[in-house]
Chains A and B, each alone.
Chain A
Amino acid sequence: MRINVNDKDYTVVVDGNPSLLEVLREQLDLTGTKYGCGEAACGACKVLINGTPTPACITPATVAQSKKVVTIEGLEKEGKLHPVQEVLMEEDVFQCSYCAPGMIITAVALMEKQEALSDSEIVEGMNGNICRCCTYPQIVSALSKLTQKAKAG
C-alpha cells in the first residue's frame, strides 16, 4: 500500500491490518510518534491525517491510504521549527517529554483551526492528551502566549 507521510511517498506492508502507529514506528522508523495506552485515551500517538489529529494507535494503517499523514518529524521545515514547537521550546515546558510529540500535534491542529484561543478553549482542545509529569499549566501558558501573538498580529 502507498502512504504519504511528511510529504514523502512510501510503500508499506499492511498484511494483518497493522495500526498506523506500528507502521510509522516499525516500518518507516518514524519513532517520534509514541505508544502510551493503545486505546486513544492519552494522545501520545496523535498524528495529522489530512490535517485532522488522529490517534494512530487505534487507526488501521489502511485508513491513511491516499491521504496525507503528518507526524512530529514533519513539522520542522528546513531547520525551522513550527511556531508551536518554538513556543514550547522557549517556555521550556516539558519534563520527561514523552507526551511532547502528541501534545504538539494536537496543539498544531487546534491552532490551525482557530488562532485566537482563550485559555479554556486551549484546555478543552488539549484535554485528550495526558502529561503524567503534569506540566499542564506550563503548556497552557505557552500556547496562550502563541495565541496572544496571533491576536496581536
Chain B
Amino acid sequence: MKNERIKQKGEQLSERKLPGKGLSRRSFFKYMGAGIATYFVWTDYLASGVLPKSEGDLLAPDQLSSWIHLSETGQITVFTGKVEVGQNIRTSLTQVVAEELFLPVSSITLVMGDTHRTPYDRGTYGSLTTPQMAPILRKAAANLREILLEQARKEWKIEEVSLTMDQGMVQHPKNGKKLSYGDLAKGKTLLQQMDDNVPTIEPTNWKIAGTSVPKVNGREFITGKHRYVSDMVLPGMLYGKVLRPPVQGSKLRAVKTERAESMAGVQLVREGDFIGVVAQNTRTAAMALASIEADWDSSPQVSRAQLFDHLLSSAEKGNPVSSQVTKAFDESTHKIQHDFEVQYIAHVPLEPRAGLAQWTGNQLEVWTGTQRPFGVQEELERTFDLPGEQIRVYMPDTGSGYGGKHTGEAGIEAARLSKATGKPVKVNWTREEEFKWAYFRPAGLIKVKAAVKGQGIVSWEFHNYNSGGAGIDLPYLGTNKHQEYHRSDTPLRQGSYRALASTANIFAIESTVNDLARKIEADPLQFRLDNLDNDRLEAVINAAAGDFDWNRAKAGPNHGFGMACGAVKGGFVATFAEISVDRESRELKIIKAITAFECGAIINPRHLESQVTGCVLQGLGGALFESVDFKDGDISNAFLSSYRVPRFKDVPDMKVILLDRKDLPSSGAGEAPIVCIAPAIRNAIDDAVGVKINRLPMLPSGIVPEG
C-alpha cells in the first residue's frame, strides 16, 4: 500500500477517483479552481505515529485527511475538519503552513469544519489539534513548497537546487528573475499525495511559527461583524423554540396547543413528544411556547443532597485490591485516608447552543456551534434516516465550548422544525436551556488511602467514582499502587469538560501527596522532587518555585504557600499559590498565583499565554465556588445570576511562565493548565490555618471553615 503510493509521487493522478471522497481530479479542480494541491490520507496520520491505531481503524485507510490548495492567483486554502472555538487554532495552523511556504499569514485561508468541503475529523477535543493536525499540515505545506520549487526549475530549465523563496516568490539563483506561486500554478491541475518524508523547517529556524501572530480574523470579532451561528440569518428564516419538561425525568402526559396554534404567524410542530413552535421573531415564538399547557409525569430523581452516597452505591463492582496494598497501608505509621467530593459544574459557553437548518428537497444544511461537526452529521443521519452525503454541517467560528459542545441538539431541533415547516429555522437556546438541557462536567467521589515510609510512598489506593479515569495515574514513584475508576449512575447528564477528570484526580493526588509530605514533616516541594522521575514536570516545578521564591518567609500568621503539579495530554504544569485567611471573617485572599507550563515548541507565545491564563482562571471557578445545584430533577441555579463564574474581580495577582522546548514536538494547551490551581490553593489553606478542604468547590460561601 505504502509502496504503491510512493510510486505515484511526482506523477499527476489519473482520472480515477480520489480516495475516500468520491471526487475525480477533474471534479476536484472544477470545484477548487485550477492550481496545485497536496493531500494526505489517514494512513499518513497513522504512519507518522500521531494517531492511535484504534482511532485509525475506524476509517478507510485511504480516507482523505486534509489538503492544501494553491490557486492561480497565489491564494493558499487549507482544508481541515478541525474547528475554532476560541482556542485560536485558526491562527496557529495558519502559522505552521505559512512557515513552510515562506508566505505571509494573510495569503492563507483555512476552511474548517464543513462536512462537504473538509475531510472527516472526529472532533476538536482532547488537545489533539496541535500534536496531530499541525505536524500533518506542516508536511503538506512543505510538500507544496517542494512541488513549487520543482515547477520553477522546469520553468527555468535549470537543475539548480538552491532556489530561494520569500513572500510568495521563487527567485532564480543567478539572473534575479522571480516567479510568483500564482504564476507557477497557472493553468495547472496538479494534485499530489503528500510525501511523508518531506523535510520541514526546524523549530529553531521558525520565523512565523513560534511568534505571536495576532488572531488572523481578529478584526471581524472586534467590530461585531463575525457571524456566530446564533447571528446567522437566511432568507425567509423563522425562529424556533422547543417545549421542555419542567424537570429532568419527566414524561409528557397531556398537552393543549390550541392557543399557540391560533396565534398569528405561529406554526406548531408536533412529532410524538417533540413539540416546537416557529414564528417570525423570537418574542412571538416564546409567547406561543408559553401558551402551551402541558402536563407531565415526573419520576423520582436523585437530588444533590444524596449525590455522593448515590455515586458510591450505584458504582460497578471494582477489581480486588491486592493484599500487598492493604498490608503496606495497615503496617505503616504515616498514613492518610481521604474522601474527596467533586460537584457537577457547567461549561457556560457565553454563546449558548445555536442551530440553523435549511432543507432543499431532500438535502439538509445545518449550521451549528459544535466541536464535532461530523458527529452532528451522524446524529442527523440517524434522526432523519438520510445518507451523510445529503447532510452538510457547517461550523462557523463559535462562541466557545470547553468540551461542552460535543453534541448537536440545537442543530437537530432546527432541522426538525425546518423539515416540518418547509422554511429555514434557527433555534437559539436560552441560558436557562443551556444550563438545564446540555451536559455537565461529571461529579465524582474519590476515596484515597496512602502511606509513606521513610521518604517514599509505600501504599497508594485510589478509587474514582463516576468522574473519570483521566489523570488517575500517580506521577510519583511508589510501590503497592491500586488506581481505579468506577462507573456509577449519574443523576445528571454529563460529558466532556476541559481536562476531563484530570482536574478531580489531580486535586485528590496533589492534596494527598502534600499531606503525606507534611505528615513526615518534609517540605512539600522537596518531597515531590524526591519522588518524581520526570524531567519535564520537574522543570516546570522548578521554574515556578524559583519565581515564587518558595523558601521565603511568610508575610504573617494565617498566610500560606501551596503548590501542585501535573502532566496532562502532553502538557506539563505547576502552580504555586500564596494565600491568606482573614482572622476575623475567615475570608480567603489569593495573594499570588504563579503557573509554569511547558508543551514542547511554542507555536504562538501570546495565544499560549492566553490559554494558560484562561485555564487557570476558569479553574479558579471550579476550585472555589462553581457548582450545579439540583433537587428532584430541577437545576436550581440555571441562571448566570445564581450560578457564579469568575469575573474581573476574582482575578488574583497572577503570572504565567512559559517554557519553550524547541527540541520537543508541540502539544496542546487548552486543558492541562487548568488542573493545578485548585490543589495549590487547597494546600496553601492547609499551610495557613491547618484546614484540609477535600471538596470542589472548596469555598462556595467564600469563608474558610474552622479546623
Contact = CB atoms under 8 A, between A and B. Distances in A.
A9 interface: no
B439 to A, nearest CB: 16
A16 interface: yes
B641 interface: yes
Contact of A137 (B400, B640, B651): B651
A126 B648 contact: yes
A80 to B, nearest CB: 11
A50 to B, nearest CB: 20
B348 interface: yes
B614 A98 contact: no
B223 interface: yes
B282 A38 contact: no
Contacts of A136: 617, 646-648, 651
Nearest to A90: B214
A73 B223 contact: yes
Given A123-B649, A134-B618, A22 B282 contact: yes
The 9 A-B pairs of least Cβ separation, nearest first, read A32-B224, A96-B86, A98-B399, A72-B224, A134-B617, A31-B231, A97-B221, A95-B86, A96-B400
Contact of A32 (B223, B618, B645): B223
Given A32-B225, A81-B222, A97-B222, A132 B639 contact: no
A33 B88 contact: no
Contacts of B349: 96, 98, 132
B430 interface: yes
Interface in A128-148: 129-140
Given A36-B431, A130-B647, A132-B349, A94 B215 contact: yes
Given A31-B224, A35-B230, 19 more contacts: A26-B281, A27-B281, A35-B352, A38-B431, A72-B224, A81-B223, A94-B215, A95-B614, A97-B218, A98-B228, A98-B351, A126-B648, A127-B647, A130-B645, A131-B350, A132-B645, A134-B618, A137-B613, A137-B651
A38 B430 contact: yes
A19 B88 CA distance: 33
Contacts, number: 172
A32 B647 CA distance: 22
Interface of B: 85-88, 212, 214-215, 218-219, 221-228, 230-231, 233, 239, 281-284, 287, 348-352, 397-400, 402, 428, 430-432, 606-607, 610-611, 613-614, 616-618, 639-641, 645-649, 651, 654
Contact of B350 (A30, A81, A99, A137): A99
A45 to B, nearest CB: 11
A141 B654 CA distance: 13
20 contacts: A18-B281, A25-B231, A26-B282, A30-B224, A34-B228, A34-B351, A34-B399, A37-B639, A39-B431, A75-B223, A92-B215, A94-B215, A96-B400, A99-B350, A123-B651, A130-B647, A133-B618, A134-B614, A137-B613, A138-B613
A151 B618 CA distance: 33
A30 to B, nearest CB: 8
Nearest to A32: B224
A73 B227 CA distance: 13
Nearest to A101: B224
Contacts of A54: none
B222 A41 contact: no
A69 interface: no
Interface in A79-102: 81, 85, 88-89, 92-101
Given A35-B428, A127-B648, A95 B87 contact: yes
A31 B396 CA distance: 15
A99 B348 CA distance: 13
Chain B at the A interface: mostly helix, strand, loop or mixed?
loop
Contacts of A44: 350
A56 interface: no
Q: What interface size band does chain A fall in?
A: 35 or more
A3 interface: no
A29 B235 CA distance: 12
Contact of A85 (B223, B230, B398): B223
Interface in A108-124: 122-124
A85 B222 contact: yes
A72 B233 CA distance: 19
A75 B431 CA distance: 28
A96 B223 contact: no
Given A22-B281, A41-B640, A94 B221 contact: yes
A142 B616 CA distance: 20
Interface in A4-59: 16, 18-19, 22, 25-27, 29-39, 41-42, 44
Given A16-B283, A35-B428, A72-B224, A96 B649 contact: no
Contacts of B348: 132
A142 B400 CA distance: 22
B610 A95 contact: yes
A98 B649 contact: no
A89 B88 CA distance: 14
A45 B66 CA distance: 38
